[in-house]
Structure 1
């Protein structure tokens, strides 16, 4: 089993048990995909046909509103990526999933995912646990946007994605926090001032 599939297996095993006999199922059902920096895993208007597992690289999720990008999530290494609304209903996506860095993924189609659920002893449990975590995460982000100040949302970003501060362009972090880049610069300067 290649290093990519080993990483996927280790991640799945954080959720459920996978026997040695079941390991080859992953390489049967997943395939590799490469997305260069600034290219798209999914564009608005396309139907999301795959769930991806990020082996290396970084993706961001955003929506366009009157030409303005609103970033609402990130998928770094060892995370799954998908527009589940589009994927589950097979309807056009209202969101973009874009590579911030050159990104290597292992992808699985809708039909193959159903096979994964059926062929792994704990496949259904794995799907349920991932869906539950995604649901809770989206509720927390929604609550944060409505109840927190820009400074608090920036602190939430830093807690949620501590390894991404140097990897994500400032304008994208500002979009995630919901402010203009100049305002983010002021917040960062204030934070830096408090450290001295």
Structure 2
């Protein structure tokens, strides 16, 4: 069943979600009450069922998302082989800046690994966020830098780090995901087959 929909944040559940977003924003910049109300109007709830796509290859990234709950993965399709290079979970922002900023088709893919609830803001509304909120551009720049650096590090690591090192980085960066997502996605992130991942995990356990 497709449960992908948008709705305004005008109920109690919506208030809980927008407060979570505001807490994240206020860790970086100050916002006054009028700006908080504007943010609540600009962001909308959107749900993705497990397996649905936030962004498909060849599509233009139209939204920036803030994950309330659930897990998403970033990957590319390399000659028919899926190569996972990053994950996003609760309180993370999700976006493909290389597609979103110039509004051009994406090579990268973003997929829900669990049922996910996000607050999303579209490209045009984000421009209003930048112009109407005193620190909007600064916060936007911080988010773009955060997502871009994380994406770049993930892609570089995929091609430069050993599978053992990538597994160690996964455990350090995403400890809660070890038991939440299928092992073949972790193997895809590490860059090995699931059988090889089992051997890497065994060696990692023996070293502790």
**Match in the other structure for 1:14:** 27
Shift of 1:119: 1.2
Given that residues 72 and 114 in structure 2 are in contact (C-alpha distance below 8 angstroms), is that contact kept between their aligned partners in structure 1?
yes
- Name which of 93, 113, 122 aligns with 2:135: 122
Deviates more, 1:126-135 or 1:152-161: 126-135
Aligned length: 195
2:165 counterpart of 1:152: yes
The aligned runs of 1:70-149 (5 Å cut-off) are: 70-149=83-162
- Name which of 55, 58, 62 aligns with 1:42: 55
Given that residues 97 and 144 in structure 2 are in contact (C-alpha distance below 8 angstroms), is that contact kept between their aligned partners in structure 1?
no
Q: Distance in 2 between matches of 1:137 and 1:52?
A: 15
Structure 1 residues 20-53: Cα deviation after superposition (integer angstroms, max 9, x where no partner)? 2211011110111100001111111111111111
Shift of 1:135: 3.2
TM-score normalised by structure 1 residue count: 0.94
Which runs of 5 or more residues in structure 2 are unaligned?
A: 1-13
Shift of 1:132: 2.3
Q: Distance in 1 between matches of 2:135 and 2:71?
A: 28
Shift of 1:143: 4.0
TM-score normalised by structure 2 residue count: 0.88
Which runs of 5 or more residues in structure 1 are unaligned?
A: none
Shift of 1:144: 2.7
**Match in the other structure for 1:167:** 180
- Name which of 23, 39, 47 aligns with 1:26: 39
Give the alignment's Cα RMSD to 1 decimal: 1.4
Given that residues 67 and 91 in structure 2 are in contact (C-alpha distance below 8 angstroms), is that contact kept between their aligned partners in structure 1?
yes
